[in-house]
Amino acid sequence: MKGLKETTSKFIKVRCPKCKNEQIIFGKASTKVKCLICTKIIAEPTSGKSKVKARVLEVLE
């Protein structure tokens, strides 16, 4: 199909370093992402991909 652009952004499954909660976040988040359990910041926006401050468990296609 002409004109369709494939996205390079992915969702990633991470584990919070503080409470070990696992959650799925967007790889190019535009805001700070907090853990849903303990509210520790686990990802911060940069000019492109997010700076992830948690352990990446899996990249989801």
Task: Please state the domain count of the chain.
Answer: 1
In a domain, 4, yes or no: no
In a domain, 2, yes or no: no
Residue 9 pLDDT class (50, 70, 90 cuts): confident
The CATH number linked to 49 is 2.20.25.100
Quote the domain boundaries for residue 56. 11-60
In a domain, 23, yes or no: yes
CB-count burial class (<10 Å; 0-12, 13-18, 19+) for 26: middle
> 12 vs 6, which has greater pLDDT?
12
Taking all residues of the chain, what is their mean pLDDT, rounded to a whole number?
Answer: 89
> 9 vs 39, which has greater pLDDT?
39
Give the pLDDT of residue 48: 81
In a domain, 28, yes or no: yes
In a domain, 5, yes or no: no
